[in-house]
Chain A
Amino acid sequence: MNLIAKPSKENIKTYVPIGLSLVSLSFLDVFVNAFFNLNFTGFLPSQLSYFLPLIIGFIGFYLIRIEFSGVRSLDILNKNINSNNFNALLTLFTIFIIIKSIPPMLDWFILEANFAGNSKDDCTGDGACWVFIKVWFNRFMYGLYPDAEQWRINTAFLILFAVVGVSFFVAEKFKKYFILFLVFVFPFLGIKLISGGSFGLEYVESAAWGGLSLTFIISAFAILFCFPIGVILALGRRSSLPAIKYISIGFIELWRGVPLITVLFMSAVMFPMFLPDGTFIDKLIRVLIAITLFEAAYMAEVVRGGLQALPKGQYEAAKSLGMGYWRMNALIILPQALKLVIPGIANTLLALVKDTPLIFVVGLMELAGMIGLAKTNPKWLGMAMEGYVFAGLVFWVICYAMSRYSQNLEKKLSTER
């Protein structure tokens, strides 16, 4: 046992170089194997050759595990990835898997992928056929909206971005007008622009809308409406009036207990039965109502959490100033309660955005639905992977950005000292 001394500060000069070279050797072996398909250790028995990098790496990590070595970078390395034998093994496995999975991913996404061309025949490589995305890109963004009229959707979103952008730079005094415009005027202006039918704009029925722009439209409207309804429901649930309280509870629990897909089914097949014969409500509007009510119930529970977290003194203080119920809630209670539950609100809105693809059950096609349509096109069969990877990336960017923004907002509005 004393033949090999335990790695310590005394023998650091010999052990660290040996250990580091062993570790690098093991990574090199895996790297060369993964990228160039060469096997250095092919002369060994296959089992041994397979596990050799792991064994060398493990010994290497053991040799460099020197506590209080006095070398700063070595200490940091040991603390973070090499604190004991188990951690060293985990580290090796993780790095090997990452190295192993890079080449196939790289091949599929870029090296073997096809970017040029405009039909399936142009895809000759083994990798992804990004031509598919390129050709269908317009459809993925705008659905079946007529090509000539797509500038209307673009204009609506450009106005939105412009107004939001400008509102960041104007004085605090004018900000509220921008917000009022965005909340109360713009949505209806935008929807008029997109649907048309007046001002000389050609009417485009909602069945033709689709793609990513529909995702945005539905999300925006549902967010806009579900928030106030959710707040009212939350206040209703906390009300001291029994009838209002129990109706709110019943309403909230009903929506929270059922999946969105059944609610959408309901809006599609059951709701028309409840209307006078001959009345027809546009499919998109029915879907919007369904999603709004559904998410409002979740929003109500989030807001209720905030209301419950407020100390009683806040209510009493507001009342002692002579405020009525509505003034108390609007000026004292809700601003504090909502700030407390920003993460919850953000999560609900995220869930809403992630739920929009479900509208396929009523036949509306946003991004995921359009990909479903495109991949069943006889000329483009077998493109499911590319399509869903693309859609996944798009949704991921949107949702990740939203969650990051909410985290920042939470930090910014935090008044804790």
Chain B
Amino acid sequence: MIFKKFNIENKKARDLIPQAITVLALISVIIYFATNAQINMGNRGISFGFGFLNQEASFDITFSMIEYDGSHSYGRAFLVGLLNTILVSVIGIFFATILGVIVGISRLSDNYLIAKVAEWYVEIFRNIPLILQIFFWYFAALRALPLPENGISFYDISFLTIKGWYVPKFIWTNFNIFLLSVISAFIAIYFINSYATKQREQFGKQIPTSIISFATLILIPLITFFFLGVSLTFEYPVLKQLSPTVFTYAGGVSIIPELIALALALSMYTATFIAENVRAGILGVGKGQKEAAASIGLNKNQILKLVVMPQALRIIIPPTTNQYLNLTKNSSLAAAIAYPDIVLVFAGTALMQTGRAIEIISITMLTYLTLSISISIFMNWYNKKMAIKEK
């Protein structure tokens, strides 16, 4: 009887009890784990702290975008791993998007064969675990490439071999000026576009913005080459004999097979999901929209650009964001083929050397959380920009 009264009349108290129990349970679990961790670390003679990040790492990393060797700190090693993760994610996202859009549109093609081929591409690559695809490219496909001495040559400027893909190296002088000119070109394009929009809205004048933007993007950086002392030369890879049987390439940039395999597998796998999103997005635009656009006299390209795509993008973007996030997280599978990403370098080698499991795993997880959250914040912003603006 008392319980019933309490139950009905005191909603606040009734709500409080389950919450209090949950919070207490959570806190006690955390305290239990923390005390255990403290005792365990005390037994092993290690104390919690992030000071080790400044210590000398004394291990080498096979592939690094910034200067690094064994004498640098663990913090620097972490940065190398992080940059490698970002590199492979960006490459993967780039190719996955292109491939995904092509396959997605192909699935809707009038051409029966193309539609079928695209469908089977999706069915095959989506239903095989990503890790197996990475293994396949790395251990089977790329291992079948020739040795350096008879590498596959692309017009003698680039060579594909079992040890990696050797491409020319860009040697810039005054790269900063070039970079500034590209940035200023983008700023100029932004202003051109907003001016064109204003003209169109106020006076109904059409300005060919895409051609002007393209020209700006080419011209402004080009000027720097002629007047501001920017120059670009290429250093081509050249075959070099190390010993009677061992060859290698000197000069140029070597893209390691781990990176190729990982980027290939990631983009081919993620492309299947993006393709499905693209297909769903285009199908999601009502037929009436296209017919209405045609009836007011727009041509096929205009219909696609002005009516179908803006609406389809609204459907496509949110799930595609998720795929970008997935790709970034999946890039951690790099550890399986020894591509030096953050998991391999930091949660692998550094952890083995220092034994600081809690700190290192926490940093790694926090890094991924930050990456995920920043991609989703950016895409949410973009999504909001694209969303229907109701008046």
Inside 8 A of A392's CB, which chain B residues have their CB? Answer: 128, 132-133, 136
Inside 8 A of B351's CB, which chain A residues have their CB? Answer: 269
Task: Give B123-161 as 1s and 0s: 1 = Cβ < 8 Å from A's Cβ atoms.
Answer: 110111111110110011101100000000000000000
Docked complex: A271-287 residues within 8 A CB-CB of B: 272-277
Q: How far is the CA of A392 from the CA of B130 in the complex (A)?
A: 10
A89-97, A173-181, A408-416 - interface stretch: A89-97
Inside 8 A of A247's CB, which chain B residues have their CB? Answer: 22-23, 26
Inside 8 A of B136's CB, which chain A residues have their CB? Answer: 385, 388-389, 392
The residue that B19 contacts in the complex, of A241, A261, A270, A275, with Cβ under 8 A, is A241
Inside 8 A of B143's CB, which chain A residues have their CB? Answer: 384
Q: How far is the CB of B129 from chain A (nearest CB, A)?
A: 4
Task: Give B5-34 as 1s and 0s: 1 = Cβ < 8 Å from A's Cβ atoms.
Answer: 000000000010011101100100000010
Q: How far is the CB of A141 from chain B (nearest CB, A)?
A: 17
Closest to B139 in A: A384
Interface size on A, residues (CB 8 A): 57
Interface centre among A259, A270, A276, A353 (most CB of B within 10 A): A259
Docked complex: A241-280 residues within 8 A CB-CB of B: 241-244, 247, 254, 256-262, 265-266, 269-270, 272-277
Inside 8 A of B312's CB, which chain A residues have their CB? Answer: none
The residue that A242 contacts in the complex, of B19, B131, B368, with Cβ under 8 A, is B19
Q: How far is the CA of A254 from the CA of B128 in the complex (A)?
A: 27
Asked whether any CB of chain B lies closer than 8 Å to the CB of A81, the reply is yes
Q: How far is the CA of A355 from the CA of B139 in the complex (A)?
A: 19
Asked whether any CB of chain A lies closer than 8 Å to the CB of B58, the reply is no
The residue that A259 contacts in the complex, of B112, B329, B361, with Cβ under 8 A, is B329
Query: Chain B binding site: helix, strand, loop or mixed by DSSP?
Result: helix
Q: Are A265 and B361 in contact (CB under 8 A)?
A: yes
Q: Are B113 and A91 in contact (CB under 8 A)?
A: yes
Inside 8 A of B18's CB, which chain A residues have their CB? Answer: 241, 244
Inside 8 A of A266's CB, which chain B residues have their CB? Answer: 361, 365
Interface centre among B40, B127, B139, B373 (most CB of A within 10 A): B127
Inside 8 A of A265's CB, which chain B residues have their CB? Answer: 343, 347, 361, 364
Known: A266-B361, A277-B43, A384-B143. A400 touches B123 (CB 8 A): yes
Q: Are A244 and B329 in contact (CB under 8 A)?
A: no
Q: Are B343 and A274 in contact (CB under 8 A)?
A: no
Interface centre among B36, B43, B330 (most CB of A within 10 A): B36
Q: Are A262 and B135 in contact (CB under 8 A)?
A: no
Asked whether any CB of chain B lies closer than 8 Å to the CB of A403, the reply is yes
Q: Are A395 and B361 in contact (CB under 8 A)?
A: no
The residue that A243 contacts in the complex, of B19, B123, B141, B335, with Cβ under 8 A, is B19
Q: How far is the CB of A78 from chain B (nearest CB, A)?
A: 10
Inside 8 A of A262's CB, which chain B residues have their CB? Answer: 332, 343, 347, 361, 364-365, 368
Docked complex: B96-117 residues within 8 A CB-CB of A: 109-114, 117
Closest to B115 in A: A80
B: contact size bracket: 35 or more
Q: How far is the CB of B244 from chain A (nearest CB, A)?
A: 24
Q: How far is the CB of A371 from chain B (nearest CB, A)?
A: 8
Query: Chain A binding site: helix, strand, loop or mixed by DSSP?
Result: helix
Q: Are B132 and A388 in contact (CB under 8 A)?
A: yes
Asked whether any CB of chain B lies closer than 8 Å to the CB of A289, the reply is no
Q: Are A391 and B114 in contact (CB under 8 A)?
A: no
Q: Are B357 and A259 in contact (CB under 8 A)?
A: no
Asked whether any CB of chain A lies closer than 8 Å to the CB of B333, the reply is yes
Q: Are A358 and B113 in contact (CB under 8 A)?
A: no
The residue that B111 contacts in the complex, of A91, A254, A403, with Cβ under 8 A, is A91
Q: Are B358 and A273 in contact (CB under 8 A)?
A: yes
Asked whether any CB of chain A lies closer than 8 Å to the CB of B39, the reply is yes
Closest to A276 in B: B36
Inside 8 A of B187's CB, which chain A residues have their CB? Answer: none
Task: Give A340-380 as 1s and 0s: 1 = Cβ < 8 Å from B's Cβ atoms.
Answer: 00000000001001111110110000001001100100000
Q: Are B343 and A400 in contact (CB under 8 A)?
A: no
Q: How far is the CA of A43 from the CA of B128 in the complex (A)?
A: 45
Asked whether any CB of chain A lies closer than 8 Å to the CB of B41, the reply is yes
Q: Are A275 and B36 in contact (CB under 8 A)?
A: yes
Closest to A402 in B: B127
Closest to A243 in B: B19
Closest to A82 in B: B111
Asked whether any CB of chain A lies closer than 8 Å to the CB of B207, the reply is no
Asked whether any CB of chain B lies closer than 8 Å to the CB of A87, the reply is yes
Inside 8 A of B332's CB, which chain A residues have their CB? Answer: 259, 261-262
Q: Are B139 and A358 in contact (CB under 8 A)?
A: no
Q: Which B residues are within 8 Å of any A CB, using their own CB?
A: 15, 18-20, 22-23, 26, 33, 36-37, 39-41, 43, 109-114, 117, 123-124, 126-133, 135-136, 139-141, 143-144, 329-330, 332-333, 335-336, 343, 347, 351, 357-358, 361, 364-365, 368-369, 372-373
Q: Which 4 A-B pairs have the closest CB atoms?
A: A243-B19, A399-B127, A384-B139, A259-B329
Using A262-B347, A265-B347 as known contacts, list a sample of 8 further A-B pairs with CB atoms less than 8 Å apart, ordered by residue number in A: A90-B114, A91-B111, A95-B113, A243-B20, A273-B357, A354-B127, A388-B140, A400-B123
13 A/B residue pairs, CB under 8 Å, sorted by A: A87-B111, A90-B109, A94-B113, A241-B18, A242-B19, A257-B373, A258-B369, A260-B329, A273-B40, A354-B127, A361-B335, A391-B132, A395-B128
Q: Which A residues are within 8 Å of any B CB, using their own CB?
A: 79-81, 83, 87, 90-91, 94-95, 240-244, 247, 254, 256-262, 265-266, 269-270, 272-277, 350, 353-358, 360-361, 368, 371-372, 375, 384-385, 388-389, 391-392, 395-396, 399-400, 403
